[in-house]
Amino acid sequence: MPDVVVIGGGPAGSTAATMLARQGWRVTLFERERFPREHIGESLLPASMPVFEELGVLDAIRAAGFLPKSGASMVWGKDRERWSWYFSETNRQYPTSFQVWRPDFDKILLDNARGKGVEVLEGHRVLDVLWEGNRATGVRVAPPGGPELRVPARYVVDASGQSGIIGRARSLRQPDDSFQNLAVYAYYEGAERLPGPDSTNILIESFENGWFWAIPLHTGRMSVGAVVDHRLGQEGIRAAGPDAFLAAQVAATTHTSHMLRTAKMVSGPHVLRDWSYVSTEVSGDGWVLAGDAACFIDPLFSSGVHLALTAGTLAAALVNTALRDPQLAAEARPVYQQLYYQQYSHFRELAKLFYSSNMSIDSYFWEARRRLNAEDGASPRQAFIRAVAGQPPRGYERVVIDRGEAPPEFVAGLAEFNDARSRRAAEFARLVESGALGDARFALAPGALVAASPVLGDMQFERGFVVRTAHRPEGVPLSPAAARLVAALDGTTTVDEAIASLVAGLEEDAARHLARGAATVLQTLYIEGVFEPLAAAAPR
């Protein structure tokens, strides 16, 4: 009997399976197709590169010859000219990602899982999950040409993508009203690439009915798709057929139609709809969802594969914990859900803002999306700040702010938030430079709270602490030493006294190391607004 059954061999499933096999668990992965199989979603983010390294597939991905992607070129917002931004502006370690051909890319990940000890069974469709009450106990599988199998397992990872076996069976899926779009896409040969340094960028062009992607591939083909309103798209396709509908959308663009003027469609058009949803729960007793099986936003920020990879990693950490310490895993499940939603909300809020800040086009598509954001009950600024986890805007975030036409109060609010962070960073630096840090006293800011909580460690959850603030209700994880430091800083104790109590009894080297770490923790927490402003914690 396997310890873990994984349903689906896409990026989420192969990542979770590989990580779990490396922890020594017996993992069986069922995939209904035989790879290489077709899949949409070619444009990747550099944020995924560390996951490829962790999985041990970066060399194989490089060797496959996929085009390196340096950034994105966009026709969006007030400027109808094409403008570009590059990952190298904000990501020095990984200044490029890839434009992949998914059949080959997904096969590399799945073969790697097999190579790392996962039993991969292709052509095996999972029919449903076996339950004892609310506990998942295995799966029922249809092998090719053979009788059905019942496969018991201690844990089930559902990475079945849009099929969402558990999500649908347990009615966990909620459609996401913010992105009720439809995509019609095709592959072209002979399309002209963008010039110069943009030649391997994704092009995103907004137009009257929605927006287009154009992704150059190393096979010489170009993936081109229109994202339009789902109702208008369905009506248009019903009336004209997908070919004529797509041709009419292309004709309504400036840049995309120029790139395709000598191109020939060689595959498609394909139509996809109803892809945006969220699950009300992403884990339970004996089961966990990862990737599209849990949530899917919208393809605008090319975030799908990245979320699938990070969710696969996170799910593996939860399962690894559950197989070792079921009690801790039960406590860690809400944290898994919180971390999952945090990553998902990041891209969702960004996409909402981006859709709602395209002010230049007056049409049903854009007006409806601007209205939707305006009617959103929660303050968009708060939602956005939560979504970017209090970090200064980078990459797509910065582009949204700089180049979109976000509501002025939103931009002002965000600037105010970032200014406060910069001010606190400068205050802390002054304190260090003047040598006054040791004598300073800090106290937790109003509303900040340290609580015991499972935190994500190395491929497992561990018992630890978080400090929650108004801006970070999900909590900033603290190591046990950091939690002791925060507890010691009660407004009466100086930083030197708190650090001295922390390192008491340690060898000299260890004490020096911990004291240095404590200063860094203090700096991070100060900038995060965990402590009172400096004025209230001035030196004696």
Q: Least separation, in Å, of the C-beta of 528 and ligand FAD?
A: 30
Nearer Cβ to ligand FAD (269/304): 304
User: For 502, what's the count of Cα atoms within 13 Å in the CB-facing half-sphere?
Assistant: 28
Nearer Cβ to ligand FAD (46/529): 46
User: For 67, what's the count of Cα atoms within 13 Å in the CB-facing half-sphere?
Assistant: 23
Nearer Cβ to ligand FAD (77/291): 291
Q: Is 230 exposed, middle or buried (0-12, 13-18, 19+ CB in 10 A)?
A: middle
> Which 8-state DSSP code applies to residue 300?
G
Amino acid identity at 491: G
∠ CA 461-465-466, nearest 5°, is 105
Q: Where are the strands (E) in 217-263, listed by range?
A: 221-229
Distance CA 40, CA 217 (A): 13
Nearer Cβ to ligand FAD (317/450): 317
Distance CA 116, CA 110 (A): 10
Integer CA distances (angstroms), 499 to 396, 419, 512, in order = 39, 29, 10
- Contact yes or no for 223/214 (Cβ under 8 A): yes
Distance CA 248, CA 236 (A): 10
Nearer Cβ to ligand FAD (292/397): 292
Q: Least separation, in Å, of the C-beta of 128 and ligand FAD?
A: 9
User: Treating both helix axes as pointing N-terminal to C-terminal, what angle do 508-527 and 480-488 enclose, rounded to 10 degrees?
Assistant: 70
Q: Least separation, in Å, of the C-beta of 294 and ligand FAD?
A: 8
Distance CA 71, CA 202 (A): 7
**Residues 6 or more apart whose Cβ sits within 8 Å of residue 270:** 40, 184, 185, 186, 242
Q: Least separation, in Å, of the C-beta of 303 and ligand FAD?
A: 6
Nearer Cβ to ligand FAD (122/189): 122
Q: Least separation, in Å, of the C-beta of 190 and ligand FAD?
A: 21
Q: Least separation, in Å, of the C-beta of 362 and ligand FAD?
A: 25
Distance CA 537, CA 515 (A): 20
Q: Least separation, in Å, of the C-beta of 305 and ligand FAD?
A: 3
Residues in contact with ligand FAD by CB under 6 A are 7-13, 30-33, 39-44, 125-126, 159-163, 165, 183, 225, 272, 275, 291-293, 296, 299, 302, 304-306, 308
Q: Least separation, in Å, of the C-beta of 14 and ligand FAD?
A: 8
Nearer Cβ to ligand FAD (352/471): 352
Q: Where are the strands (E) in 76-197, listed by range?
A: 83-86, 97-99, 119-122, 125-132, 135-142, 149-152, 155-158, 173-175, 181-189
Helix, strand, coil percentages in the chain from 3-state DSSP, rounded to 5:
45, 25, 30
Nearer Cβ to ligand FAD (223/494): 223
**Residues 6 or more apart whose Cβ sits within 8 Å of residue 418:** 392, 393
Nearer Cβ to ligand FAD (221/381): 221
Q: Pull the structure tokens for residue 382.
A: 């708060």
Nearer Cβ to ligand FAD (40/503): 40
Nearer Cβ to ligand FAD (156/323): 156
Q: Least separation, in Å, of the C-beta of 78 and ligand FAD?
A: 25
Q: Least separation, in Å, of the C-beta of 363 and ligand FAD?
A: 20
Q: Least separation, in Å, of the C-beta of 454 and ligand FAD?
A: 24
Q: Least separation, in Å, of the C-beta of 192 and ligand FAD?
A: 20
| Unique residue bearing structure tokens 């390294």 | 53
Nearer Cβ to ligand FAD (7/399): 7
Closest CA to 260 of 230, 226, 228, 232: 226
Amino acid identity at 257: S
